[in-house]
């Protein structure tokens, strides 16, 4: 594949600007219970049904760390090729809000559980490494519901105390496309690890987006604005686009950019100021005296490392080596663990390369059409492999295969059965084919003459006639060969 | 048995065991005392019906195998008690009824005791005189014009006035030991982490520790044994085997080394406190202990350190009282912020507000390093002073307080002089060590004075033993005239 060039810049009259983006991703930890209490974390329960005395901050209640959440954070850190800190500290971030029962969020400030790491992105212009600054564990807040009653706000504490991993990137991202690739890559890694389901609709993955602009070639960063709590990739991209252009306009007008926190209005498609730097909260962080520093034994980290599943970057390399796929195909097929599992099952039973082509073509198109994903595909991997094998062996043509595929989607039947019961087998007997072709040629003497006189385009006409007569079952390769031979004679 | 309530907890337990008295009779005797002692204002809530019910239940099916068989106990109103109002001495919790029982009180009930009532205390345990309680100040049975100490002032008053056979308090900077000293009773602040903090209304999490308040050292060992123990619900709880303090109580202290820190001889200390200290030294020496002069050089920084760390933690711990989920909520205010402001303005008293302000200030950006961080460093130095000393001595002897009980209202307008009353007690909290306050004598006015024995972490048995020996040889008896009934 030819490599494109990176070209996301904003052109102003005074120069060409590049956009600098850093993300703080909040990923909900997959765990049965909350970070410091035994309450369930299941999504979708009735309001305030999954709230313990700890989550609602009753007097005298104390947090106790959930070991599984710690392990999940370590696994994620390992998946990000990051340094795991044997010593980390939980701090209190103090602020008042109705959905923050304690009046503080327990988070990690100075000493996070995971330090620097990196994520590899495959961009059309080559692969790009995005640095991870840190990952820390913290509690989620509850939810304020402002639109249920005209004069009151309702509070749902089901989410209060659920464990989040805040994954902070370095300011290495340069375009909305890179942000898209980065979020998807993070999500893929965490899904492989089973540490976050990455479900953005349910709020399991959200991000604060830091955006600044600077003239191309400038060494120093511009003043950044933080866009809070954006919960879809599309909105992140729209927010960045809007915000970067807003900043460029200000600079072009000779104005300064205020460092501030902004909100993205999804209805108006614009960002607007939430609070300026002067109004910034003073969170008065200090170590939570209810919790001892978290000390991890190296053995625990080593054991977790040993038990990690194969991660997408490694799997991609293996797919290229083992199955002869190109980088693009391998990338697509490892993008979700379930897809890669499906592919491997198919590839073991059929032609590896052809399987990849058909999966990425017809199978994905069908799933996309029907709004399904690979785990609930109407075609099992085993049946899909049989279909691929039937094509490979020449039993059916590609065109017939598409028909068989359609029937498989509808019926869930295996392709052998469909091919046999509908008599869809390819005509691959050279004698039979020769007989049929001779018949066609003798019926179309005039066209044969024209062909021989140099009108070679007519070759397609003869192929069409063969297909028509055979009901599409004539082996195309064989048809070509025989036609060529007979037309020469 | 009209005099049963005069007796020590261990004597009472004997009487119950030998059926000299029933649990019901005992409970009735205390109820009578309490009803006659309303002037002291020691109780915020009484649970007489529940107590009588439990006493009858015990008498019907006595189990004498327990540490506290059939004994009614009143406890500081900082311990959450299931279905019984728990106020922490504050308006902001004046209607709060927990659905849960604190680990420490549950331990007491599991050892055969039952609840008699909830005892007044300084609001959120912030105070040294029990004058900051929303439910009014408590009076010291020693004299109607005297404070009982604080913050466990309801506990010390009730205990000294025979309104409960023993009790429990909490000690963040001296809140058990100072009131014990002011009322001529025994008070122990255990090692940080020995008693679970789960279910205790928090003041300053890294300093708070529950402990027993009793008439004798033996009673103290029984209560400590009953209330302490590892609790997985408290991450700072120490996971160790439970000790049998009362069984192991010994009065032979021959050869033990007792440290005498020179820094505890402070300026302007009343002569009689110095004399009391000398008396204490002599008693221990006569019992065969060896006195060793030691130095705890950072002692003078303990009080300022404490008054940064404790308010800092308190400012955060008390953020949850916002009127949203439980407790008092102001009806005034047109939005969330105003509701918060009014609720907290009306719900908290002046001393609590003062400490929230101090705590918020010392944690603020730009001040954090100069105050909170510096205080944490000094705290480590104070701890190290003790660690160094304990390589040379078994325990440390100091006065408990720089004065005897002061007058009601005497210090309410001068917070700093009030804070100075904690000068001998706060270093122990900062270092997380156990310390026992023992009644040791009277001052000129006839008010009790206490001496403090500080031990190594988890060395409760040793300071209890020294205290036990001291008590037998001190010749002090707390005689209180029941002027209130």
Other Cβ atoms within 10 Å of B49 Cβ, number: 8
CA distance A44 to chain B (A): 22
Beta strands at B257-261 and B395-399: parallel, antiparallel or unpaired:
parallel
Q: Which residues contact A111 (CB under 8 A, 6 or more apart)?
A: A85, A87, A88, A89, A293
Structure tokens at A48: 């305030």
Interface contact flag, A60 B102, Cβ < 8 Å: yes
- Chain A touched by B202 (CB under 8 Å): yes
Interface of B with A in 67-86 (CB under 8 A): 80, 86
HSE-CB at A236 with a 13 A cutoff on CA atoms is 28
- Chain B touched by A289 (CB under 8 Å): yes
Interface contact flag, A65 B235, Cβ < 8 Å: yes
Partners of A61 on chain B (C-beta within 8 Å) are 198-199
pLDDT (0 to 100) of residue B352 = 98
Residue B9, burial from CB neighbour count under 10 angstroms (0-12, 13-18, 19+): buried
Cis peptide leading into B152, omega within 30 of 0?
A: no
Give CA angle at B184 (B183, B188), nearest 5°: 95
Catalytic residue flag (residue B151): yes
Interface contact flag, B197 A64, Cβ < 8 Å: no
Partners of B312 on chain A (C-beta within 8 Å) are 286
CA distance B97 to chain A (A): 11
Partners of B345 on chain A (C-beta within 8 Å) are none
Give CA angle at A343 (A342, A345), nearest 5°: 65
Q: Which residues contact B103 (CB under 8 A, 6 or more apart)?
A: B195, B196, B198, B199, B231, B233, B234
Separation of alpha carbons A173 and A77, rounded Å:
20
Treating both helix axes as pointing N-terminal to C-terminal, what angle do A458-470 and A430-443 enclose, rounded to 10 degrees? 120
Partners of B86 on chain A (C-beta within 8 Å) are 59
Catalytic residue flag (residue B175): yes
Separation of alpha carbons B168 and B115, rounded Å:
12
Other Cβ atoms within 10 Å of B351 Cβ, number: 20
Structure tokens at B107: 């331990």
Q: Which residues contact B121 (CB under 8 A, 6 or more apart)?
A: B76, B77, B78, B88, B89, B130, B133, B150, B151, B152, B153, B154, B155, B169, B175
CA distance B233 to chain A (A): 6
Partners of A64 on chain B (C-beta within 8 Å) are 232-235
Exposure b/e, B165-202, CB count within 10 A at least 16 = b: bbbbbbbbbbbbbbbbbbbbbbbbbbbbbbbbbbbbbb
Other Cβ atoms within 10 Å of B62 Cβ, number: 17
How many beta-carbon contacts under 8 Å exist across A and B? 93
- Strand-pair partners of A84: A114
CATH topology of domain B1-485: Amidase signature (AS) enzymes (3.90.1300)
Treating both helix axes as pointing N-terminal to C-terminal, what angle do A445-452 and A430-443 enclose, rounded to 10 degrees? 90
Separation of alpha carbons B176 and A81, rounded Å:
52
Partners of B320 on chain A (C-beta within 8 Å) are 57, 59, 101-103
In this predicted complex, what is the ipTM? 0.96
- Chain A touched by B313 (CB under 8 Å): yes
Mutate to test the interface with B, among A57, A161, A284, A288 (most CBs of B within 10 A): A284
The number of angstroms, rounded, from the C-alpha of B7 to the middle of its chain's C-alpha atoms is 21
Partners of B76 on chain A (C-beta within 8 Å) are none
- Chain B touched by A255 (CB under 8 Å): no
- Chain A touched by B325 (CB under 8 Å): yes
Going from N- to C-terminal start, the domains of chain B cover: 1-485
Catalytic residue flag (residue B404): no
Whole-number Cα distances in Å, B129 to B179, B395, B404, B419: 8, 28, 12, 10
Separation of alpha carbons A166 and A301, rounded Å:
19
Mutate to test the interface with B, among A62, A144, A145 (most CBs of B within 10 A): A62
CA distance B205 to chain A (A): 6
CA distance A305 to chain B (A): 27
Separation of alpha carbons A350 and A358, rounded Å:
12
Going from N- to C-terminal start, the domains of chain A cover: 10-305, 310-421, 430-488
Interface contact flag, A153 B336, Cβ < 8 Å: yes
pLDDT (0 to 100) of residue A3 = 67
Interface contact flag, A289 B368, Cβ < 8 Å: no
Separation of alpha carbons A386 and A416, rounded Å:
7
Among A107, A230, A87, A98, residue whose Cα is nearest residue A161: A107
Nearest residue, CB atoms, B235 vs list A94, A284, A290: A290
- Per-residue pLDDT of chain B in tens (485 residues, 90 and over written 9): 458 999 999 999 999 999 999 999 999 999 999 999 999 999 999 999 999 999 999 999 999 999 999 999 999 999 999 999 999 999 999 999 999 999 999 999 999 999 999 999 999 999 999 999 999 999 999 999 999 999 999 999 999 999 999 999 999 999 999 999 999 999 999 999 999 999 999 999 999 999 999 999 999 999 999 999 999 999 999 999 999 999 999 999 999 999 999 999 988 888 999 999 999 999 999 999 999 999 999 999 999 999 999 999 999 999 999 999 999 999 998 888 999 999 999 999 999 999 999 999 999 999 999 999 999 999 999 999 999 999 999 999 999 999 999 999 999 888 888 898 999 999 999 999 999 999 999 999 999 999 999 999 999 999 999 999 999 999 998 889 999 98
Nearest residue, CB atoms, A290 vs list B205, B322, B324: B205
pLDDT (0 to 100) of residue B105 = 98
Partners of A292 on chain B (C-beta within 8 Å) are 235-236
- Chain A touched by B363 (CB under 8 Å): yes
Interface contact flag, A284 B363, Cβ < 8 Å: yes
Are B84 and B97 spatial neighbours (Cβ–Cβ below 8 Å)? yes
Domain A430-488 - what CATH class?
A: mainly alpha
Are B375 and B367 spatial neighbours (Cβ–Cβ below 8 Å)? no
Beta strands at A260-265 and A91-94: parallel, antiparallel or unpaired:
unpaired
Separation of alpha carbons B135 and B153, rounded Å:
12
Interface contact flag, A96 B202, Cβ < 8 Å: no
- Chain B touched by A216 (CB under 8 Å): no
Are B86 and B98 spatial neighbours (Cβ–Cβ below 8 Å)? yes
Mutate to test the interface with A, among B308, B336, B347, B358 (most CBs of A within 10 A): B336
**Sheet with strand A286-287: strands edge to edge:** A104-107, A91-94, A286-287
CA distance B458 to chain A (A): 18
pLDDT (0 to 100) of residue B34 = 98
pLDDT (0 to 100) of residue A473 = 81
pLDDT along chain A (489 residues), means of 10: 81 95 98 96 94 97 98 98 98 95 97 98 94 98 91 92 98 97 96 95 94 96 95 95 96 94 91 82 96 97 97 96 94 93 95 95 94 93 94 85 92 88 79 88 89 88 88 84 85
Place of tokens 């029982």: B101
- Chain B touched by A66 (CB under 8 Å): no
Partners of B84 on chain A (C-beta within 8 Å) are none
CA distance B274 to chain A (A): 37
């Amino acid at each position: 594949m030819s490599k494109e060039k990176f070209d996301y810049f904003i052109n102003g009259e005074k120069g060409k600007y590049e956009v600098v983006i850093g993300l703080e991703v909040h990923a909900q930890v997959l765990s049965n219970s909350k970070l410091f209490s035994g309450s369930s974390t299941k999504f979708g329960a009735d309001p305030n049904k999954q709230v313990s005395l700890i989550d609602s901050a009753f007097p005298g209640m104390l947090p106790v760390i959930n070991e599984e959440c710690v392990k999940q954070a370590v696994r994620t850190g390992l998946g990000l090729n990051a340094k795991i800190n044997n010593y980390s500290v939980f701090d209190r971030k103090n602020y008042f809000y109705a959905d923050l029962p304690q009046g503080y969020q327990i988070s990690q400030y100075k000493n996070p559980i995971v330090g620097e790491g990196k994520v590899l992105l495959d961009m059309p212009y080559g692969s790009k490494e995005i640095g991870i600054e840190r990952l820390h564990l913290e509690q989620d807040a509850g939810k304020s519901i402002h639109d249920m009653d005209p004069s009151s706000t309702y509070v749902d504490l089901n989410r209060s105390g659920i464990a989040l991993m805040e994954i902070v990137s370095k300011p290495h991202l340069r375009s909305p496309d890179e942000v898209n690739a980065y979020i998807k890559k993070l999500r893929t890694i965490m899904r492989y690890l089973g540490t976050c389901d990455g479900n953005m609709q349910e709020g399991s993955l959200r991000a604060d987006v830091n955006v600044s602009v600077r003239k191309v070639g400038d060494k120093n960063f511009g003043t950044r604005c933080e866009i809070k709590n954006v919960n879809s990739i599309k909105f992140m991209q729209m927010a960045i686009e809007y915000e970067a252009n807003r900043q460029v306009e200000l600079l072009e007008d000779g104005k300064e950019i205020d460092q501030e926190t902004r909100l993205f209005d999804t209805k108006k498609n614009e960002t607007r100021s939430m609070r300026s730097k002067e109004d910034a909260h003073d969170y008065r962080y200090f170590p939570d005296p209810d919790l001892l520093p978290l000390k991890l034994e190296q053995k625990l980290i080593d054991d977790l490392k040993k038990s990690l599943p194969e991660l997408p970057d490694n799997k991609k390399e293996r797919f290229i080596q083992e199955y002869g796929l190109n980088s693009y195909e391998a990338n697509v097929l490892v993008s979700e663990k379930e897809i890669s599992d499906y592919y491997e099952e198919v590839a073991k039973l059929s032609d590896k390369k052809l399987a990849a082509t058909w999966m990425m073509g017809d199978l994905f198109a069908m799933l996309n059409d029907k709004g399904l994903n690979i785990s609930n595909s109407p075609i099992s991997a085993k049946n899909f492999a049989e279909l691929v094998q039937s094509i490979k062996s020449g039993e059916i043509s590609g065109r017939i295969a598409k028909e068989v595929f359609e029937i498989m989607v509808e019926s869930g039947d295996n392709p052998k059965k469909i091919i046999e019961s509908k008599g869809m087998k390819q005509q691959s007997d050279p004698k039979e084919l020769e007989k049929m072709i001779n018949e066609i040629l003798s019926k179309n003497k005039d066209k044969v003459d024209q062909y021989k006189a140099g009108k070679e385009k007519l070759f397609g006409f003869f192929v069409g006639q063969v297909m028509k007569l055979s009901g599409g079952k004539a082996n195309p390769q064989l048809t070509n060969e025989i036609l060529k031979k007979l037309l020469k004679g | 048995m009209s005099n049963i309530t005069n007796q020590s907890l261990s004597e009472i337990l004997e009487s119950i065991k030998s059926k000299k008295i029933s649990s019901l009779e005992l409970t009735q005797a205390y109820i009578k005392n309490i009803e006659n002692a309303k002037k002291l204002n020691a109780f915020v809530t009484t649970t007489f019906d529940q107590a009588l019910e439990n006493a009858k239940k015990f008498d019907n099916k006595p189990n004498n195998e327990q540490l506290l068989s059939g004994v009614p106990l009143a406890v500081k109103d900082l311990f959450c008690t299931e279905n019984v109002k728990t106020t922490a001495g504050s308006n902001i919790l004046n209607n709060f009824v927990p659905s849960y029982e604190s680990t420490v009180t549950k331990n007491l009930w599991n050892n055969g005791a039952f609840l008699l009532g909830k005892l007044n205390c300084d609001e959120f345990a912030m105070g040294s005189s029990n004058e900051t309680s929303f439910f009014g100040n408590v009076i010291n049975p020693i004299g109607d014009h005297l404070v009982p100490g604080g913050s466990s002032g309801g506990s010390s008053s009730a205990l000294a006035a025979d309104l409960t056979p023993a009790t429990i308090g909490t000690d963040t900077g001296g809140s058990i030991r100072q009131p014990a000293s002011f009322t001529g009773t025994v008070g122990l602040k255990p090692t940080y982490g020995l008693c679970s903090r789960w279910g205790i209304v928090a003041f300053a999490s890294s300093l708070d520790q529950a402990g027993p308040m009793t008439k004798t050292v033996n009673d103290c060992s029984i209560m400590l044994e009953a209330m302490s123990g590892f609790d997985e619900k408290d991450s700072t709880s120490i996971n160790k085997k439970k000790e049998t303090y009362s069984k192991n109580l010994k009065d032979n202290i021959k050869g033990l080394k007792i440290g005498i820190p020179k820094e505890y001889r402070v300026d302007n200390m009343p002569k009689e406190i110095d004399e009391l200290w000398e008396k204490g030294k002599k008693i221990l020496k006569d019992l065969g202990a060896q006195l060793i002069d030691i130095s705890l050089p950072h002692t003078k920084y303990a009080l300022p350190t404490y008054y940064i760390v404790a308010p800092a933690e308190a400012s955060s711990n008390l953020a949850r009282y916002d009127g949203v989920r439980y407790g008092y909520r102001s009806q005034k205010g047109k939005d969330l912020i105003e509701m918060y402001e009014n609720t907290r303005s009306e719900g908290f008293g002046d001393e609590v507000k003062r400490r929230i302000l101090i705590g918020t200030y010392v944690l603020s950006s730009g001040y954090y390093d100069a105050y909170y961080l510096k205080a944490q460093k000094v705290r480590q130095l104070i701890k190290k002073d003790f660690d160094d000393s304990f390589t040379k001595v078994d325990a440390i002897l100091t006065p408990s307080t720089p004065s005897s009980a002061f007058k009601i209202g005497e210090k309410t307008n001068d917070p700093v002089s009030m804070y100075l009353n904690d000068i001998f007690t706060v270093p122990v909290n900062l270092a997380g060590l156990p310390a026992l306050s023992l009644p040791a004598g009277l001052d000129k006015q006839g008010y009790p004075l206490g001496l403090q024995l500080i031990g190594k972490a988890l060395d409760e048995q040793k300071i209890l033993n020294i205290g036990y020996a001291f008590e037998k040889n001190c010749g002090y008896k707390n005689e209180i005239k029941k002027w209130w009934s």
